[in-house]
Copies of this chain bind each other. A is one copy, B any other.
Amino acid sequence: MAAIYRVGPDGPVYRRGVPWRRRLRLPASIAHPVRLLPLAFLSLIVLGTLMLLMPFAREGERDPSFMDAFFTATSAVTVTGLATVDTGSYWSPIGHAIILVLVEIGGIGIIAMTTVLGLFVGGRLGLRTRLAAQTDMHVVSLGDVGPLFKRVAFTMLVFQGVTAVVLTLRYSTHYFDSFAYSLWHGVFDAVMAFNNAGFSLHADSLTGYAGDYAVILPISVAVFAGGVGFPVLAELYQEWRSPRTWTIHTRLTVWGSLFLLVVASTLFVAVEWNNPATIGGLSPIDKLVTGVEGGIMPRSGGFNSFDWGQVEPVTLFTAVIMMFIGGGSASTAGGIKVTTFLLLGYVILAELRGEEQVRIGSRAINSRTIRTALSIALIAVGLVTAGAMLLMMFSAVTFADGLFESASAFGTVGLSTGLTPDLNLPGRLVLIVLMFIGRVGTITAASAFVLRRRQSRYHLPEEQPIIG
């Protein structure tokens, strides 16, 4: 396949100047990768719903519930982890396997698709030369997409494999008698962790392992790694020794993620230290372990070893903010993404300094990129707000619970103060829509915004309204 040499108004254009959609000979309306993404996810959700409706997917002699199957399939494919039923006892082992596969396909699909879109979209991503070393230095070809998918899948399986081994060893030596049972739990938790999916075979998630560093920390590390995103992992793999050569994207993601982790965990431990309903009864070391978890999971792992319905208001608010920010781009985490969040911080900095260009290190960020970041953040605020208000209106939840649940669904986090199973039909539909838009919509919007940029043929005269 031919190499792309620039991104035109109709999407990436080949070296020979032919828009790629014409080359692939697919109908234009579905051929664009940005348009394919929602369709692919929707198909997977429908397929998942159908499979979860099968009798063998449920435990015992229950009647099938379309809504529970639909909700669970959406939650799994979008790697969220919110659940209207108890995952462990409602679904059969086959049902668990279906959820596992949906999560794995959803996770790999997201990472691969967003990485490819990043290659198409990001003119100065820096990755293209590194990931696609076999091609020219300044082009990426569609022929690289296959190997790229393989590389993404390989990376994910390695991470998940290591996590699974560590967890299985701990489970079999300290928790369960059966090695097979330990192995199944280890594999399930590892897949959920790296995919930031947060489903658990236990009704109370990780509460049975509260404070056990040999369970909480491997899961937290896998969540963190899955959440920084493939482009960053790939760059770190090759250049972890020379941070000075990292792209802006990797620098923002790595330092930003660590910064958010430290802030959220410190706040968590400080505020919850004496809360008997969360970590008040644990030993100091166990409090710290739980603090790391409490700082990482809202961005958007979704596991919990304590009851989020019992945390202090400050902790809940911090978590809402972290869920909104989310993880790295082209990762299994949701939210507006760390880069988007930090970019907005740099905009404020430039404004405070009165500088014409927004600078990050020795690089400038152009005003269209800023506008895109701003738009994504504002649309996200609007969606979380609208979701929370609809939940309050139709499902009679409190202010705090509504905002937390809405942010959790939009950020595909999966944490809950405990109200998900009690939500009525409108409430469940709100969450389904939020999960889908939160997962697919933000990616699609971000890519579409960048791809659709075009030069105006004429410029309008400017006028300046008063601000502030």
Contact = CB atoms under 8 A, between A and B. Distances in A.
A366 B314 CA distance: 38
B460 A445 contact: no
A313 B463 contact: no
| Interface range for A | 35 or more
B468 A356 contact: no
Contacts of A125: 464, 466
Interface in A445-462: 445-447, 449-450, 452-456, 459-462
A321 to B, nearest CB: 7
A4 interface: no
A271 to B, nearest CB: 7
A142 to B, nearest CB: 19
A467 B356 contact: no
Nearest to A449: B351
A456 B356 contact: yes
A267 B316 CA distance: 27
A124 interface: yes
A402 B317 CA distance: 10
Contacts of A399: 313, 316-317, 399-400, 403
Given A356-B455, A389-B318, A399-B399, A378 B348 contact: yes
A465 B314 contact: no
A77 B459 CA distance: 44
Given A378-B344, A385-B317, A385-B321, A123 B464 contact: yes
Contacts of A298: none
A433 interface: no
Nearest to A454: B354
Contacts of A373: 467-468
A374 B350 CA distance: 12
Contacts of A344: 374, 378
A274 to B, nearest CB: 13
A152 interface: no
B314 A463 contact: no
Contacts of A317: 385, 388-389, 392, 399, 402-403
A398 B313 CA distance: 6
> A-B pairs with the 5 shortest C-beta distances?
A446-B468, A354-B452, A399-B400, A329-B466, A364-B460
